[in-house]
Amino acid sequence: MNRCLLFVPINFLVAGILTFCVNSLTANPWRKAAAAHWTERARLLWPVRTSGAVNIWLIPRFTFGRWLRLVAMTWSIRAGSLGVLVLSALLMPDEFGLASVVVGGSVLAYLLALHFGLYLRFLRWWKVLVLPDRRLRSVVARTAQRMGLREPGTWLLDAPLAQAFALPATGELMFSSRLLDILTDDEISAVCAHEMGHLTESKSVLAGRIAGSMALYPLIFLRPAAKSGPLAICAIGVLVVLSAMLNRKLSRRMETRADKIATENQVEQGLFAGALEKLYCDNLIPAVSTGKRKAHPHLYDRMLAAGIQPDYPRPAKPQSMRWSVFLISIALGVLIGRELRGDQTLPLHAGRENCDYCPIVCAVVWLFEACISQLSPCFTK
Q: Going edge to edge, which strands form the sheet with 164-167?
A: 129-130, 153-157, 172-176, 164-167
pTM check: above 0.95: no
pLDDT tens, position by position, for the chain (381 residues)?
A: 455 555 556 665 666 666 667 667 777 888 889 899 999 999 988 877 776 554 444 455 556 666 667 767 777 777 778 888 988 988 899 888 999 999 999 999 999 999 999 999 999 988 889 999 999 999 999 999 999 999 999 999 998 889 999 999 999 999 999 999 999 999 999 999 999 999 999 999 999 999 999 999 999 999 899 888 889 989 999 999 999 999 999 999 999 999 999 999 999 999 999 999 999 999 999 999 987 778 899 999 999 999 999 999 999 998 866 555 555 555 555 555 554 455 444 444 444 444 444 444 444 444 444 444 444 333 333
Domain ranges of the chain: 1-59+324-381, 63-283
C-alpha to C-alpha distance for 190 and 187, rounded to whole angstroms = 5
- What's the pLDDT at 335? 54
d(CA 75, CA 62): 17
What residues contact residue 188 under an 8 Å CB cut-off, 6+ apart?
Answer: 136, 139, 175, 179, 180, 275
